[in-house]
Amino acid sequence: MTSWKIYKLGEILNFRRGHDLPKSQMVDGKIPVAGSNGIIGYHNVSTPIEPCITIGRSGNVGTPYIYDRCWAHNTVLYIDDFKGNDPLYLYYLLKTIPLASYGGGSAVPTLNRNHIHPIEIKHTPSLEEQRRIAGILGAIDDKIENNRRINANLESQAQALFEEFFINNIAQATEYNKVALTDIANYLNGLAMQKFRPKDDEKGIPVLKIKELGQGLCDSTSDLCSLSIDEKYIINDGDIIFSWSGTLLVDIWCGGTCGLNQHLFKVTSDKYPKWFIYHWTKFHLAKFIRIAKDKTVTMGHIKRGDLESSEVLVPDSLLLEKYDNIMTPIFNAIISNRIENRNLATLRDTLLPKLMSGELSVNNFSVD
């Protein structure tokens, strides 16, 4: 394989500013309009280069995206010349560069192509090596995307089955017992974790806040707490979490072990299966959001009384067991796929800088 050398970014690709396209001028089509945060609409015409690789130019600067085709909006820079290099390889190369640090402007960060073209990076001119690197990383991302599609289908199935079992069949629903959310599940509020920081010699664990719940994972910016907190406040994969203040969300946590912060409920039950308490909590979420929105305080929230006044339909034990035999395998598959995706993303992010610098040779690596 060809040795890796230092090149200026502008020597291996060329960025061009995207083109303005107001929403009023978007013509209904299947071409994604690529903005600095991803897709912002659809159009019937694409920027004349494929694939379409963009980075945020204004607002969310520096984040790379890749599309089969796209209309590159004027909030992005896009590659209009690959200069003979493999496009997918260039996409992964861009992910290793801290492009956001080159952004200027005070109120709204902006990225100037003339400021990033001179960036010096390690690069291999070998097209064969580029394609093999892109193949390794692309295979991991393809598996992640496939799992996402599978989960989207599984989640749609589970939602449709829940509605069939409990919402749409009015005649059968009259035979169910009516109880409150708090009768089927325990809603444990988290701790003010700033009071439980790791001790001097302790590594600690990430704190699960609303931000982490929304993005589905903890990251380098997440706060840490001590492992010595009460075990009931430690969150593990598969736990159901409900943020009841600020941004209201209900989700199945699959982001690894962490500590439960205040303003979030850990939802558990000693009597009913997880899918049952998850879907009933989620069923009432729209109502809870309306209640929180009507609050006159700065941060909208619900109260425990709102849980107590929310109705749940409970079938007899035999029928619940029948439903459970259908729903639990779906629920477990969703959790398993999410955990696998987290592990795959970790693998990809570990390999990325090593492969893109030549530290790890593609000759000694393969992905099944």
Inter-residue contact 321 to 267 (CB < 8 Å): no
- Phi, psi (degrees; rounded to nearest 5) at 93: -60, -45
The tens place of each residue's pLDDT in the chain, 368 residues long, gives 558 999 999 999 999 999 999 999 999 999 999 999 999 999 999 999 999 999 999 988 999 999 999 999 999 999 999 999 999 999 999 999 999 999 876 678 899 999 999 999 999 999 999 999 999 999 999 999 999 999 999 999 999 999 999 999 777 777 899 999 999 999 999 999 999 999 888 999 999 999 999 999 999 999 999 999 999 999 999 999 999 999 999 999 999 999 999 999 999 999 999 999 999 999 999 999 999 988 656 678 999 999 999 999 999 999 999 999 999 999 999 999 999 999 999 999 999 999 999 999 888 665 55
| pLDDT score, position 125 | 94
Kindly state the tokens that stand for 246: 């600020």
5-123 and 177-314: identical CATH topology: yes
The CATH topology of domain 5-123 is Adenine-n6-DNA-methyltransferase TaqI; Chain A, domain 2 (3.90.220)
| pLDDT score, position 299 | 72
Integer angstrom CA distances of residue 21 from 27, 50, 60, 73, 235? 10, 19, 18, 6, 45
Rounded to whole angstroms, how far apart are CA atoms 187 and 179? Answer: 15
| pLDDT score, position 366 | 57
| pLDDT score, position 51 | 97
Tally: H helices and E strands in the chain: 11, 19
Nearest to 330 by CA among 167, 157, 163, 164: 157
The one-letter amino acid at 66: I
| pLDDT score, position 174 | 77
What CATH number does the domain located at 177-314 have? 3.90.220.20
Q: Where are the domains of the chain?
A: 5-123, 126-153+319-368, 177-314
